[in-house]
Every structure is written in structure tokens, then in C-alpha cells.
């Protein structure tokens, strides 16, 4: 029996990883990247920061969407209480990887759902975050240089991608894998359910 779904699912992110997660679930959705300034919440604790940025992203896109459920997300890597964002250059990527190697860090991903009605007004919001601990294997200088040469670290928080070549040095995780990639699927399901929606209804089959 085919579900009758009128509401549109919207991803407020240009991240190819988040797009791949939703596509891999077979969900039907639109992509409208947010253009907010991500520096606006840098002074907040990591959990509050990713929640505020995720919500701001979702709300900024929701203002142009009618009868939609807009997903906003933000991810940071935290080591010794310090937030590690995306590297500005090769030197910064090397410094981050050198610090992370052989140690355990935390990945915080904030997730926001913003619902709009048929007139385009925001009618409901939900925002939460999850934390996953990531245990990294030791990396020698040659391995770090090789990894940076692949260019994979340059657009990723913490300078590595767990879903790519960076997985060579991930010894294990405690928590949600997709949270490390950038969007926790279990959390998305729970939040949508709590707002009265089922992700199943957004599948293309």
C-alpha cells in the first residue's frame, strides 16, 4: 500500500556525506543548502554549539519552504575539550591528525527538525545532539603526509573521514557510526517519530 505523503523532506546542507546517508536510506528529499555563518556559535560548549548551528541552518532554509520538514545538522570533533573544525590548510590538517593519532576523541553532531505549514510558517521545532567516542590508531608522519595527499581530510571536521580512507586509522567507536559521518540516523528517526512523522513514509518505494 503506497503512503500518501504531501509534506516535503528537505536537507538544509550541502554536505555530500549527509546527502549520501539519506539517499542510502531510500528517502525522497530535496537539498537546499543553508548559507548561515557557522562562526556564530563558536564560543558555546560543543553540545550547545552543534544544536544551535543545526537549528539556525534548518530555520534559515525553512523560511522559503511550504509544508516541509527541514533537516539541519552540524558536526564537530572535540579533543581535550577543544573543538577541531575543518582544516584551513595542509599544515593545520597535519597538526590535527598528529594530535588525534593514538588517542580517543568525541564527535558531536547536532540535529534539528523544523516543520512548516501550508502557508510556509514555522509551526514546530525539535533539536538534539549525540556524542560518539572515536578511538584512533597511531599514525606515523609518512602516513599522515600520505593521507593529506589524498585530499580527503581537507573538508572534514578533525581532518579525517571515517567513511573513507580515514577508516584505516579508526580502531573503534563507542556510539552511533552515522553520527560520526555527520547525521545520526537513529536520532533522526526518533525525532521525526516524536513529531508525528515516520521516515518510512518518505521512502521512494
Q: Which residues are catalytic?
A: 74
Could you please report the per-residue DSSP string of the chain?
Answer: ------SEEEE----HHHHHHHHHTTB--EE------TTTTTTS-HHHHHHHHHHHHHHHHHTT-SSEEEEEEEEEEEETTEEE---SSHHHHHHHHHHHTTSEEEEEEEEEEEEE-TTS-EEEEEEEEEEEEEEEPP--HHHHHHHHHTTGGGGSGGG--TTTGGGGGEEEEES-HHHHHT--HHHHHHHHHHTT--GGGGB--
The answer to whether 70 and 58 have CB atoms below 8 angstroms apart is yes
Sign of CA dihedral 46, 47, 48, 52: positive
Rounded CA-CA distance 184/170 in Å is 18
Amino acid at each position: 500500500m503506497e503512503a500518501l505523503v504531501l509534506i516535503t523532506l528537505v536537507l538544509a546542507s550541502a554536505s555530500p556525506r549527509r546527502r549520501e546517508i539519506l539517499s542510502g536510506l531510500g528517502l525522497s528529499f530535496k537539498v537546499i543548502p543553508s548559507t548561515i555563518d557557522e562562526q556564530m556559535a563558536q564560543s558555546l560548549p560543543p553540545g550547545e554549539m552543534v544544536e544551535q548551528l543545526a537549528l539556525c541552518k534548518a530555520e534559515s532554509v525553512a523560511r522559503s519552504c511550504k509544508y516541509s520538514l527541514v533537516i539541519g545538522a552540524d558536526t564537530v570533533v572535540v579533543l581535550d575539550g577543544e573543538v577541531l573544525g575543518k582544516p584551513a590548510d595542509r599544515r593545520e590538517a597535519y597538526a590535527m591528525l598528529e594530535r588525534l593519532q593514538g588517542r580517543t576523541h568525541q564527535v558531536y553532531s547536532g540535529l534539528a527538525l523544523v516543520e512548516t505549514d501550508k502557508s510556509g510558517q514555522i509551526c514546530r521545532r525539535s533539536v538534539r545532539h549525540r556524542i560518539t567516542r572515536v578511538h584512533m590508531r597511531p599514525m606515523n608522519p609518512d602516513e599522515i603526509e600520505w593521507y593529506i595527499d589524498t585530499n580527503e581530510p581537507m573538508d572534514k571536521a578533525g581532518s579525517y573521514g571515517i567513511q573513507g580512507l580515514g577508516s584505516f586509522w579508526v580502531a573503534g567507536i563507542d556510539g552511533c557510526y552515522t553520527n560520526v559521518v555527520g547525521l545520526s540516523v537513529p536520532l533522526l528517526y526518533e525525532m521525526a517519530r516524536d513529531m508525528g512523522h515516520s521516515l518510512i513514509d518518505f521512502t521512494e518505494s
